[in-house]
Amino acid sequence: MIIPPPKRPRSKDESILPLINIVFLLLIFFMLAGVLAQSPPFELTPPSTAETADKAQLNNDVLSIAADGRIALGGETMDPEVLPQALGDWPKDKPLQIRADGQLKADALTGLFATLRSAGISEVKLLTQHVEP
């Protein structure tokens, strides 16, 4: 009769290894797939688009505009009056990303364009959220 060799008792550490493998995989997935982005200091629902094909990564110095007209550059709330100073050293050829709430009056945005123009910014990228049509 062949008696099978006694099984080595699995240590507690060894039984937890598959769990760690999965957790590591999840960790690496979230690190690589997602973007660590500055969230605006107020509630913001960007307008949705379906046709625009360009894609963009959110910059850290994005200009956020809430529905009631509050603005924030990066994560910092600021007065619209001090915006030209804050954008004083903005490079000429770099477009400014704008993330505005969908309920904002379009006139408020065009009003802000005048401020940006005086700060020397000739192109902006209005960020929208892609939804499947």
Partner 1 sequence: MHIENIPRRRHTISLTPLIDVVFILLVFFMLATSFTDWRPIGLATGTSAATPGQTPPAVVHVDTEGNLRYQQKIVAADDLAASLKSARERNEISAVIVQPDADANLEVTVGALDMLSGAGVSPMSLATGASGKDAP
Q: Which residues bind partner 1 (CB under 8 A)?
A: 11, 13, 16-17, 19-20, 23-24, 26-27, 30-31, 33-37, 39, 46-58, 95, 97, 100-107, 109-111, 113, 116-117, 120-130
Q: Measured from the CB of residue 43, what is the shortest distance to partner 1 in angstroms?
A: 15
Spatial contact of 81 and 119, defined as CB atoms under 8 Å apart: no
**Nearer Cβ to partner 1 (85/129):** 129
Radius of gyration of the chain (CA): 25
Please tell me the distance from the alpha carbon of residue 84 to that of residue 116, in angstroms, as a whole number.
Answer: 7
Please tell me the distance from the alpha carbon of residue 112 to that of residue 69, in angstroms, as a whole number.
Answer: 10
**Nearer Cβ to partner 1 (4/103):** 103
**Nearer Cβ to partner 1 (4/133):** 133
Q: Measured from the CB of residue 131, what is the shortest distance to partner 1 in angstroms?
A: 9
Please tell me the distance from the alpha carbon of residue 35 to that of residue 80, in angstroms, as a whole number.
Answer: 28
